[in-house]
Chain A
């Protein structure tokens, strides 16, 4: 059974945010408008967050592309009262939009703040309503949603490979999620962390590898490669 993970190389990342944009379009993320955005209500399954630190009078900026961490031990799953969010066989943290009661305990428990709530019914202005991605359900009002590692793409790729009677190859997987595919700097990798020979496993063993808020013990499956100091 594969264990899906992602590696993001911060030395290659140019913080162009193509990943964020690709994700919005691919995953049918509704538009929130400037007013709601100003209130902090827009939904971004993927976001590039800026970490600006003042170190002895010198500003240091670091840009961190942030999908869902798909933790091995996800706090959001533990606290869900109805099992609307769960870990599947392949280690992905999934959402069942038909079960979620909208209590927002998961959004509160997630230390990474990667979960979003639908404050209103989703709206897609013309012509965007004609361009919704098939296979990605539009979420109803009142439920929580989050990054799925583009599960629909993964499922489709698996089906197509199975139809041809073969397994998915590592090179097919690396660029599978929409964010990875859109990355112009080739800074992102996707693949099976259980396969020691996969690209992500190899990169995860890199001395630059680190995870966000590692000390909380959530065991994220998104691994970052830190910038080399020069």
Chain B
């Protein structure tokens, strides 16, 4: 009888937890939905603005923005002092802060709880957050040889590029090598150069491998049915998978940025940073700007985490999911390079990836960055919803 009572007790706890969780979730969703509506509105405006200011050829415009000094229109546009810079800076930063320190403090908290509080509370809180599963996922992704190789590759690229630039003679005659000249003049620019180099293909590919594999990989080897029978909970599992892929995005960009910075500091002279707009800021401010660039790019490629997750719930074949996820940004960039399809460009997520150069102007031009972040958010919400709708109703037959 007493065991029956105990099991009833745990039943109630479980039920209470179940009913609590959805309310939190729905309010959260309502908030994001509210966010998304203005996003759509400003996005449409942004599209028009972009059309108005961009020259005929979008690709050359981008190249010009990335490499050349300010065209004059950008600083002029930047009359709005508020803008996206704080938003852009803090948003990815808070994501990172939410996951890592939360885990750390929680581990400490658990010990404290063992001492004085009823243990059940700590367990409930921890398990409701899914931190143990998240930790397990991180271990699975980051201990996997394939993913380690991807990170190694990303870390090696700046070193190779740096050495190549060091060996070549800097020239300042045409647009391409201007970046090279800048790197030669200031090692800090190697980071920008390396990010620019991996952004079209290598970085998205690395993210696609992890994102596409997230659910389809488990389905492919059959572990998905056991995770669901445990039960891990479909929504919870999906959120954990998403959080893990986003963490891998951050790790990939961080690896690249760190080795690029180290290589740049070692191989080239370092000093006050001359921005794309021509003005010069101190080295420390230059480094802060670099960090913002890295975070913006991480936010940009993190849209692939949601896209890959959605693709991953559709198929049981990890290879198919990875390939599809990897092809999408390539297709998007090809469309972005066709001037006749200009009206579509603002709706492409890759279109906004290259707006990071606005962070390298004084003052920072915020409109493109804001539109970019909103586009990334919109893509994440749409594909996240697709993934959720598909995964929570899916027949798991693998």
Q: Do chains A and B stick together as partners?
A: no
**Which A residues have a C-beta under 8 Å from some C-beta of B?**
none
Residues of B within 8 A of A (CB): none
